[in-house]
Amino acid sequence: MLVSIPVRRVLRLGHPVLRSPARNLSAREIAAPEVQRLVAELAATMAAYEGVGLAAPQVGEGISLFVMGLPEGSPRHPEGIELTVVFNPRLRPLGADREQDWEGCLSLPGLRGQVERWRRVELRGQDRKGKAFKRVYEGFPARVIQHESDHLLGKVYLDRMTDLASLSYVGG
């Protein structure tokens, strides 16, 4: 029997949950059926909106959770990004290298801007089962992690832009 996973509506900038810090979850809370259902809904919503990452606050849930993933062969990052579930992320920059690149956000549709981010980061958090992990990311995946982690702090990429002159509409 096929079970349909609902696609949630992505909130747009202006909704108060997008500007509020998210709450960390305990391992017991992570294991709860409603939180596991939310993980599946986030992944389905990210795919439906053709995103690379999605944080729980973007669908109205003020908890410290994001997902990221991208199929191999994507023009945005040909190597792809394995579907990753992260609860309670903590980031640490590795090295001094930073890079400027374009970012967009499902909560600010149609806009893009240049944002400076750390090139390499160490990510610590808990996976879908509540198990602690530590991984190193660089380049585009590191940028996605920093972007999604910002959502859990009540920030959007506009807050990280040092020069709004690059802010542009894309598409029609």
Catalytic status, residue 148? yes
Q: Which one from 41, 61, 103, 148 is the annotated catalytic residue?
A: 148
E-state strands within the chain: 53-55, 65-70, 81-93, 98-103, 111-118, 120-126, 132-138, 168-169
Q: Cα(132)–Cα(48) distance, rounded to whole angstroms?
A: 29
SS3 of 38, please? Answer: helix
Backbone angles phi, psi at 23, to 5 degrees: -95, 135
Catalytic sites, residue numbers: 148
